[in-house]
Chain A
Amino acid sequence: MVASGASDVDTSTSKHLRGKYAICGIGETSYRRGSDQTTRSLATWAIKNAMDDAGMNAGDVDGMLSYSGNDSTFSTFVAGDLGIRLNFYMDVHGGGSSTECLIGIAIGVIEAGLCKTVAIYRAMNGFSAVRIGGTGARSAAPVTGDQIHHRAYGWQSAGQMFAPSFLRHMYDYGTTPEQVAHVKVAHSNHASNNPKAYYKTRLTPEDVVNSRVICKPLHLLDCCVETDNATCIIVTGIDRARDCPNPPAVIQAIAGRTCKPRADMHYQHGPISTVAGYYAKDILWPNAGVGPEDIDVTGAYDAFTFTAMLQLEDYGFCKKGEGGDYVSSGIINLGGARPNNTSGGHLCEGYTHGMSMVIENTRQLRGEVDDFCPIGPDGKRQHTYDYAEGGCRQVKGAELTANLGWANPGTGSAMVMAKDR
């Protein structure tokens, strides 16, 4: 049942792309509940903001990728609204773990000569339209196929489906809800220094474990926020990225939608608390040429507190079973050795199926995190590195970041980015 630790993936072929592509533009709308906008409108604004950030006009972008759960708008509409003539587009199904994977696809299609610059977006009215935690439409669908495995027994939402992984981790390793609550605490501290964050209030571990139980061992405050928003990143070749106004976030390696032997009934084929990162790490680190110990900032997907913990563990930031210690040690806090989700992540900033975490790490590598620090005469933020509430959230000397994207326990994507040298 225990999967082999040795990589069975040929990682020799993509290393030549290390450092050859970069994120040159980032954009987002505000994180709100009740956008009063269509996803088409939200997407248009996010892409326009990213194009402005990249110093690009409509003629500079010729590729588009989006992901959704049938809750967004197709690239063709959005591109037309922005005056962009596309040489390539694709709209794929998917939620968390899509961002990193689609960046890999963008690199692939640029490398193949299909287009030169790709805007990737996620637009969702995740609070006012299709709620991930909500279950109305999904409950009405007939129970077929693999769903016999959960729907008839009252398993429906993501939290309900994922919770047994957390519970078994507690049983196997002695992990406690109080330890895992520190993920929320850290992210809430980070969010308090993020003017964009939906929830900016700093919380304590007691706040988390005293909040009402959603499904044991998950409390309300272990669960992410649902918001309306759109996000966009623009990917292009490193040379072109260097011509853009902001420093490129250089892509070192990607693992895209790596799966456990079964992505659906994942616990039938490996321990239930083992997640896709266990396999993705064997693609990510060799291709990046670095290891977890080299990383300055992590973006471990926090659909729930424990999803961040399980991924940090399986990507090797700590030993298996020691995730509870890792996340409660202070390491993941701003000012700690390796802060996680410095924006506040999905637990506090807002919910965008992972793209916001890539945007945040891009800002970290630029040294231009949009916190409460004053802006100097040169137009750049004068970071204080004082992480007290209402202050800074720039990580000093951030040179390498890792995003660990989560779709479900059985599927994940990851990316390492570096500051341009």
Chain B
Amino acid sequence: MSDWSKVTRPIPVPDEWTKPFWDAAKRGVLELQRCQNCGDFQHPPYATCVNCISTDLKFEPVEGGGTIYAYTIMYHTGDQRFAGAVPYASIIVEMDKAPGAFLPGNLLGVPYAEAKVGRRVEVLFETLNDDITLPQFRLAQTTSTA
């Protein structure tokens, strides 16, 4: 199990595009940017839909279930702030209900070796400070049909 207790994560700084994502996360809700024209989700958020260039974009709540699409296990520290946690799993998750958007995260709550392509995961929220809460993942707690 990765020891995250000594890790002080870099704090994301919201900008004009990402602020709604961070505001929602602070409320414990995963909201992703969705094009109201073509219906595509995208992440990170941008000024336009990168599929159809529509500017009619809204943030919509998204169910937190997904599948590990790819991952890596970090044995070597890049950012020194993560030194206490190595080895740890950083994963890319294909969301069930947000086609087009893949979310990054760490796999929390289980040994890092549990990270496998195709494993079912779900979002949880890690509070970093009063302003920023980070969407994260754990293995799915409920049996899924996906």
Contact indicator A155/B12 (Cβ below 8 Å): no
Chain B contacts of A261 at CB under 8 A?
50
CB of A135 within 8 A of CB of B75, answer no
- Contact status A156-B79, CB under 8 Å: yes
Determine if A13 is an interface residue (Cβ-Cβ < 8 Å): no
**Cross-interface CB contact of A144 among B15, B50, B100, B117, cutoff 8 Å:** B15
Report if A396 contacts B (CB, 8 A).
no
**Residue from the list B44, B69, B70 in contact with A146, Cβ < 8 A:** B44
Q: With A215-B73, A267-B92, A268-B42 as known contacts, state yes or no: A153 contacts B104, CB within 8 Å.
A: yes
B126 to chain A, nearest CB (A): 9
A90 within 8 A of B: no
Return the chain B residue nearest A139 by Cβ.
B79
Q: Are B70 and A167 in contact (CB under 8 A)?
A: yes
Q: Within 8 Å of chain A (Cβ to Cβ): is B18?
A: yes
Residues of A within 8 A of B17 (CB): 145
Q: Most B CB atoms within 10 A — which of A146, A152, A269? A: A152
Instruction: Let me know if B76 is at the binding interface, CB within 8 A.
Output: yes
B92 neighbours in A (Cβ, 8 Å)? 164, 267, 272
Are A144 and B12 CB-contacts (below 8 A) given A150-B104, A154-B106, A155-B90?
yes
Q: Is B85 an interface residue (CB 8 A)?
A: yes
Question: In the bound complex, do residue B12 and residue A152 qualify as a contact, i.e. CB atoms below 8 Å apart?
Answer: yes
- The chain B residue sitting closest to A154, CB to CB, is B82
- A155 in contact with B78 (CB, 8 Å): yes
* Contact partners of A144 in chain B: CB under 8 A: 12-13, 15
Q: Contacts of B88 on A, CB cut-off 8 Å?
A: 154
- Tell me, rounded to whole Å, the shortest Cβ–Cβ distance linking A264 to chain B: 9
> A165 contacts which chain B residues (CB < 8 A)?
70
Residues of A within 8 A of B21 (CB): 148
Asked if A262 and B50 sit within 8 Å, CB to CB, the answer is yes
B80 near A139: Cβ-Cβ < 8 Å: yes
Q: Digit string of B51-89 for contact with A (CB within 8 Å is 1, else 0)?
A: 000000000000000000111111110111110010010
**Chain B contacts for A3, CB-based, 8 A:** none
Q: How far is the CB of A158 from chain B (nearest CB, A)?
A: 9
B134-A152 in contact (CB<8A): yes
Partner of A213, one of B9, B73, B81: B73
Bin chain A's interface residue count: 35 or more
Question: Bound complex: CA of A64 vs CA of B81, how far in Å?
Answer: 41
Name which residue of chain B comes closest to A265, CB basis: B44
Q: Which of A135, A168, A213, A214 contacts B79 (CB 8 A)?
A: A135
Supposing A143-B12, A154-B85 touch, asked if A163 and B72 sit within 8 A by C-beta, the answer is yes
Q: Is the CB of B75 within 8 A of A145?
A: no
- With both beta carbons as reference points, the residue of chain A lying nearest to B89 in the complex is identified as A216
B44 and A171 form a contact (CB under 8 A): no
- Residues in A neighbouring B72, C-beta threshold 8 A: 160, 163-164, 167, 215-218
Write out, one digit per residue, whether chain A residues 322-358 have a CB within 8 A of any chain B CB (1) or not (0): 0000000000000000000000000000000000000
Tell me if B11 is interfacial: C-beta within 8 Å of chain A: yes
A89 to B9, CA, bound (A): 42
Picked from A135, A155, A164, A268, the residue with its CB within 8 Å of the CB of B101 is A268
Most chain A CB atoms below 10 A, which of B11, B70, B82, B100: B70
Q: Which of B13, B71, B78, B85 sits near A156, CB closer than 8 Å?
A: B78
A151, B10: Cβ atoms closer than 8 Å: yes
- Supposing A143-B11, A148-B44 touch, asked if A267 and B75 sit within 8 A by C-beta, the answer is no
Q: How far apart are the CA atoms of A167 and B70 in the complex, in Å?
A: 7
Is A157 engaged at the interface, CB distance under 8 Å to the other chain?
Answer: yes
Chain A residues within an 8 Å CB radius of B69: 168, 267, 272
Asked if A142 is an interface residue, CB under 8 A from chain B, the answer is yes
- Interchain nearest-CB distance for A42 vs B (Å): 27
Binary flags per residue of B91-113, CB closer than 8 Å to A gives 1, else 0? 01000000011101110000000
Check B90–A153 contact: CB distance below 8 A. Answer: yes
What's the Cα separation between A144 and B14 when bound, in Å? 7
- Which residues of the other chain, B, contact A164 by a CB distance below 8 angstroms? 70-72, 92
In the docked arrangement, what's the CA distance between A163 and B15, Å?
Answer: 28
B70 pairs with A139, CB closer than 8 A: no
Q: Across the interface, do A152 and B74 meet the contact criterion of CB distance under 8 Å?
A: no
Residue numbers in B under 8 Å from A319 (CB-CB): none
Q: Is B138 an interface residue (CB 8 A)?
A: no
Beyond known contacts A136-B80, A151-B12, A152-B10: 12 more, CB 8 A cutoff: A146-B44, A149-B44, A153-B106, A154-B78, A156-B78, A163-B72, A214-B75, A215-B74, A262-B50, A265-B102, A269-B50, A272-B70
A-B contact pairs, 5 of them (CB 8 A): A139-B80, A152-B12, A154-B88, A165-B70, A214-B75
